[in-house]
Amino acid sequence: MNLRGSVIPIVDLARKLGMTVTAPNERSAIVVAEVHGTVLGLLVDQVSDILTVRGDQIQPVPEMATSFDRGFTDGIITHENGMICFLNLARMFRPNDIDNLAA
């Protein structure tokens, strides 16, 4: 993707998390993040809001039977519409992964 004159790699976050991949639609969005010094875009199903969260609101992720890799998470918060999981992008993308994306 071209972002203000710079080409950045795009990663389908569902695929990276081992979830079912869906075709992008009008609600899909690209969230831009910097990981290990590299700017990249994360393709997500939708963005509904931007929140400010205090550190003391974040709770540990409960033990549950799922294929989701909890090693990528920093915790969860409860929200009026459900629960929100905080992903740790530095753990999700190793430096070598980022180098391969940017190549």
Q: What is the pLDDT of residue 43?
A: 94
Q: What is the pLDDT of residue 89?
A: 92
And the tokens for 7? 């080409």
Q: What is the pLDDT of residue 99?
A: 65
Q: What is the pLDDT of residue 102?
A: 55
Beta bridge partners of 18: none
Could you write out the three-class secondary structure of the chain? Answer: CEECCEECCEEEHHHHCCCCCCCCCCCCEEEEEEECCEEEEEEECCCCCCCCCCHHHCECCCCCCCCCCHHHEEEEEEECCEEEEEECHHHHCCHHHHHHHHC
Q: Please count the structural domains in the chain.
A: 1
Q: What is the pLDDT of residue 85?
A: 87
Q: What is the CATH number of the domain that holds 78?
A: 2.40.50
Domain of residue 15, residue span: 2-102
Q: What is the pLDDT of residue 97?
A: 72
Positions in the chain short of pLDDT 70: 64-69, 98-103
pTM over 0.75: yes
